[in-house]
Chain A
Amino acid sequence: MMNSDWMFLGTTTARAVFMWGLTLVFILINIFLERKICAFVQDRVGPNRAHICGVRLFGFILNFADAVKLIFKEDILPPFVNKAYYIAAPAVIMTIALMGAAVVPFADDLTVGGFTLPMQALNLNVGFLYILALTSLSVYSLVLAGWGSNSKYPLLSAMRSSAQMISYEISMGLSLVGLVMVFGSVDLGQIVKAQGGLIAGVVPRWGIVVQPLGALLFAVASLAELNRTPFDLPEGESEIIGFHVEYSSMKFALFFMAEYANIFVASAVFAALFLGGWQIPWLTTAAIKEHAAPVFRTVSIVALAAMMAVAALLVRFYRKRPYQWKDLRRIEGPVLLSALGLGALLAVAGIVASYVITPGPIMAALLACGLQMAAFCGKSFFLCAFVILVRWTLPRLRYDQLMALGWKIMLPLGLANLLVTGLVLLLKKG
């Protein structure tokens, strides 16, 4: 093979592994967020017991305890199930969930030494149609689980969820047509690049600004596709029984991991389509590369301020707490604070370095790439948190309300959005 072939293979693998790893990390983050946001919204404390050497990371460590528990639980294979379908279902849903993030771009094209790398695991020209296709495929998993379980409640739930997902897929696709008309592409990389401009020199030209109704419809439809509250009828843990009643142990966990992975994928896609993806508002890639040193200085100062704010919160928390842990957890405060102190030192070093060193083109390009990745991850994080917050805010819809919303409200609104977008584009041209 030629040298450039190896280069291509290496970078493609690296990008794919990055997005795959990001999805897996976001599964953990989402489970953590789910627990902590749920607890705080309900005025509870949330997970605060599990720790490694005293460090609990605000309950994040509970994820690992949870994983150990689920792996070592007994994996029951009920005698009445259709084994092939029963085992395939969780594998299918997890595979699809991990594939979803592949087409989402996480930074601007990186140009290093004559090579231009699209920062996107899979540079498909079908763009988000790939994601729409994957969401359609994930219905199969639910139907497989429902049918393979060979039991009446999973089957009913599978029927419910397949009907729901098919109904909302239409609105989902329709809500994106307006966006395609505005940006003229289905490729997510192109769409994100097109969102870099400004409207009237002030407002960033994000999808949510040019297509507000489309964004709303897409958000609602993707909540329905994710089976998240208020559309979590497929799962319906409290009164109607979900499609995974017959599952136990890691197979059951896979359904939930897939759900949390899907939350990340949906958030990343929403960020890419409507919130400018990796675009940092009012700061283009060229601008970052040109003013690399001041940009890096500003970022370091912001990071320093953020760490000091977190440290202040922590100190306040540890001083006001009316009790003392009697085990290793008592050293958590000092450990976290010293970690923050180390971070603050690094930030100060960054501020100093920005005055001393003049960054070369490669460093500037890497800085731009890193900042854009951080912007993308931050947007996805906040959208994940929003999806979870919505779950703890809204009650579940009744089934007829669900169908009425999907067919009688979302579909006409999507068509109206299309009509208005078309008219506006026509008037602008003519």
Chain B
Amino acid sequence: MAIIVKKAKLNVFEKVYIFEIARGIVVTIGHFCNSLINPHRLPTLNYPEQKRRLLPNYRGRLRLLKNETGELKCTACLLCVKACPANCLTVEAAPATPGAKRTPARYDLDVGRCIFCGLCVEACPFGAIDMNSGIYELADKDPARFIFTKEKLAQERGPQ
């Protein structure tokens, strides 16, 4: 069905159109002068020099956490591997020694595959991994460097 578009009623000044154009130009000149005189108030962040403040729940690159004695909290239970929908984790447990906590011999993350969904963090029963690292500048020219080993995953900084 055809819809009849209602046209707005214009008064004489608006019909002449040229005055409305002048009003529009005044608006743009206002914005121009504001930006010219107060460039520091523009909302743009100059990215590599200026960085965003991340929210506490921002998901960055996965990170292995340590306990008070400086050992990895991870027990190589492989629940994170099972939870991962992108198959980006490769975890192998170290041979068990009686009486000691189990540790991973290998914990590799392929950032090229990771989709930053955070399901591994939710799956972990020991709170041994998190994504609060605040690391998001992961671009690289060499694909081999997308694979982060246990040592790299453990030593990185983080805001929280």
Give A residues with C-beta under 8 Å from B: 37, 39-45, 48, 216, 313, 317, 320-326, 389-390, 392-394
Contact = CB atoms under 8 A, between A and B. Distances in A.
Given A321-B40, A323-B46, A324-B49, A390 B35 contact: no
30 contacts: A37-B32, A39-B35, A40-B31, A40-B36, A41-B28, A41-B32, A41-B35, A43-B34, A43-B35, A43-B42, A44-B44, A45-B39, A45-B42, A45-B46, A48-B46, A317-B39, A321-B39, A322-B40, A322-B50, A323-B46, A323-B49, A325-B49, A326-B49, A389-B25, A389-B29, A389-B32, A393-B21, A393-B24, A393-B25, A393-B27
Contacts of B34: 43
Interface residues of B, number: 22
Interface string B106-131: 00000000000000000000000000
Interface in B61-106: none
A390 B22 CA distance: 10
B43 A43 contact: yes
B79 to A, nearest CB: 42
Contacts of A392: 28
Contacts of A321: 39-40
Contacts of B36: 40
Contacts of A42: 31
A39 to B, nearest CB: 7
A393 B26 CA distance: 9
Interface string B36-54: 1101101110101110000
Nearest to A230: B21
Contacts of A323: 46, 49-50
Contacts of A39: 35
Interface string B1-38: 00000000000000000100100110111011011110
Nearest to A395: B24
B18 A216 contact: yes
Which of B18, B35, B46, B50 gathers most chain A CB within 10 Å? B35
Interface of B is mostly: helix
Interface of B: 18, 21, 24-25, 27-29, 31-32, 34-37, 39-40, 42-44, 46, 48-50
Give the 4 A-B residue pairs with the shortest CB-CB distance, closest first: A40-B35, A320-B40, A323-B49, A323-B50
B28 A389 contact: yes
Nearest to A318: B40
B50 A40 contact: no
Contacts of B39: 45, 317, 321
B44 A390 contact: no
Contacts of B42: 43-45
Nearest to A405: B17
Most chain-B Cβ atoms within 10 A of its Cβ — which of A42, A48, A313, A323?
Answer: A323
Contacts of B48: 326
Contacts of B37: 313
A320 to B, nearest CB: 4
A393 B24 CA distance: 6
Given A40-B31, A41-B32, A326-B49, 14 more contacts: A40-B32, A40-B36, A43-B31, A43-B34, A43-B42, A44-B35, A317-B40, A321-B40, A326-B48, A389-B32, A393-B25, A393-B27, A394-B21, A394-B24
Residue with the greatest number of chain B CB neighbours at <10 A, chosen from A43, A313, A324, A326? A43
A321 B28 CA distance: 24
A76 to B, nearest CB: 28
Contacts of B49: 323-326
Contacts of A325: 49
Contacts of B27: 393
Contacts of A45: 39, 42, 44, 46
Contacts of A393: 21, 24-25, 27-28
